[in-house]
Structure 1
Amino acid sequence: MLSSPKGGVGKSSLSRNILVLAARAGHTTAGVDFDQQGTLATWSERRERVRASIPALASIPVQKARLEDWRAVMASTKKSTADFVVIDTPPSIELNLNAIVSLAAEADLILVPCQQTQDDIDSVIPWMRHLNSASQRAAFVLNRSNRRAKSFEMIRSKLLVAGDFCPVEIPQLEEIPLASGKGLGVMDLTRPSSGETFEALWSYVSRRVQQ
């Protein structure tokens, strides 16, 4: 599950790339898009159109759903053939707190994306504290990072103090939105420059899910 109170931190971007990584690892995958914008669901539809000319591309269905229907949606996913499900949630957690907290309790792992700004820190740290107090398995993911910026170590340190931290930072790279625009994940591209980064991310995610 991808969850953050802050909009625009890359929940949908990470969701689709994790789905592609899981499919490449041999899982039967599915996504659930609870965000009204439907970014993940739109990407899945685009991918299906691409598969018409590239049938070897793994099918990754994404169900668009309303957050208030989460119980029925989760029951449906448990009955499906998918063995790896990624859930993309809307921002503004405070407006949907009860539903998102209940949904989080069903997740094997909650990733909390965060960008390299103080505004992001102010938003995500209270949410991580809430997840920790509920004994949820959760971790920050620093997205669109820039190690050369002075803010990098400060932001990273604050996240490490506040909760578990994914050791793989996702840099700002042009190929990430480029792949998305084609209904792909980065690892669907030929010789992606960030291939090692996303392989490392999958190693982390798959290991945490299995713990």
Structure 2
Amino acid sequence: MRVLTMASQKGGSGKTSLAASLAVAAADGGETVAGIDTDPQGSLAAWGRRRQAQGLTVETAEPARVRQALDRAKASGASLAIVDTPGIFGAGVAIALQDANFVLVPVKPSILDVEAARPTVEQLQTLRKPFGLVLNQCLTSSQGRTLDAATALVRSGTLAPCMVALRADFLDAMTAGQGVTEIAPRGKAAAEVRLLWAWIAERMQETPARG
């Protein structure tokens, strides 16, 4: 089983909604997915409770008990666990990162968010965890701002080649307990998430699965 962990120094990055849609996209691609929500807000777990489709479970766990939750996921037959963490990089998040095969850091395309991502990147480099950044909630009408943010992030670490725009499909999918690939399979949001998942999956193949 491999572990994808979502991390962000700044709240409001769209981390949880992206985690939910990535979980569905991974399941569509043949993975057996287990979600683990360590954020006290419990948004990913609430999304999981709203789901009607079978085959994708979400449980809550304190950061200190993530390893036990991962053991349960593996025992249940999961091939991929997606761990959602609080929107602030603290000791609990560092604990939750210990078993990650890959860490995805969503960043909104603004100078404040780019600057806020730097401590997260520094922590991940210290922990020697494979990671990538993705520009999330990009405004399609502000391509110049997105390009400036991308230029700044390239200097910080690996940047996903596919950006994710701010689209209503994400809000609708979270409300319905679905992923964007379910609620609008032919939509632009679905295409972006599929591309992002393909990029993440390729990165994760470079790391050994959790024993």
How high is the TM-score relative to the length of structure 2? 0.88
CA contact (8 A) 1:139 1:164 kept: yes
Q: Distance in 2 between matches of 1:190 and 1:71?
A: 34
CA contact (8 A) 1:29 1:83 kept: yes
Alpha-carbon displacement from aligned partner over 1:97-129 (angstroms, at most 9, x marks no partner): 2x3223213111100011011221121112112
Larger Cα-atom Rg: 1
Is structure 2 residue 89 aligned with structure 1 residue 85?
no
| 1:125-164 matched pairs, under 5 angstroms | 125-146=118-139, 148-149=141-142, 150-164=144-158
1:169 to partner: Cα distance: 0.6
1:197 to partner: Cα distance: 1.4
CA contact (8 A) 1:2 1:89 kept: yes
Q: Tell me the residue number matched to 1:104.
A: 97
Larger CA deviation: 118-127 vs 81-90? 118-127
CA contact (8 A) 2:64 2:96 kept: no
Q: Distance in 2 between matches of 1:31 and 1:5?
A: 20
Q: Tell me the residue number matched to 1:188.
A: 182
Q: Tell me the residue number matched to 1:178.
A: 172
Alpha-carbon displacement from aligned partner over 1:2-60 (angstroms, at most 9, x marks no partner): 0011111111111101110111111111100001111000001100xxx3xxxxx3431
Q: Distance in 1 between matches of 2:126 and 2:97?
A: 13
CA contact (8 A) 1:132 1:163 kept: no
Is structure 2 residue 8 aligned with structure 1 residue 15?
no
1:201 to partner: Cα distance: 1.1
Amino acid at match of 2:79: D
1:40 alignment partner, SS class: helix
Q: Tell me the residue number matched to 2:209.
A: none
Amino acid at match of 1:61: T
Q: Distance in 2 between matches of 1:26 and 1:162?
A: 32
Amino acid at match of 1:173: R
Q: Distance in 2 between matches of 1:84 and 1:74?
A: 10
Larger CA deviation: 114-123 vs 162-171? 114-123
Is structure 2 residue 199 aligned with structure 1 residue 204?
yes
2:41 alignment partner, SS class: coil
Q: Distance in 1 between matches of 2:33 and 2:70?
A: 14
- In structure 1, stretches of 5+ residues that fail to align are 52-56
1:174 to partner: Cα distance: 0.9
2:6 alignment partner, SS class: coil
1:145 alignment partner, SS class: coil
Q: Matched residues, percent identical?
A: 27
CA contact (8 A) 1:4 1:127 kept: yes
Q: Distance in 2 between matches of 1:186 and 1:169?
A: 15
CA contact (8 A) 1:175 1:192 kept: no
2:97 alignment partner, SS class: helix
Q: Tell me the residue number matched to 1:54.
A: none
How high is the TM-score relative to the length of structure 1? 0.88
CA RMSD of aligned residues (A): 1.6
CA contact (8 A) 1:168 1:197 kept: yes
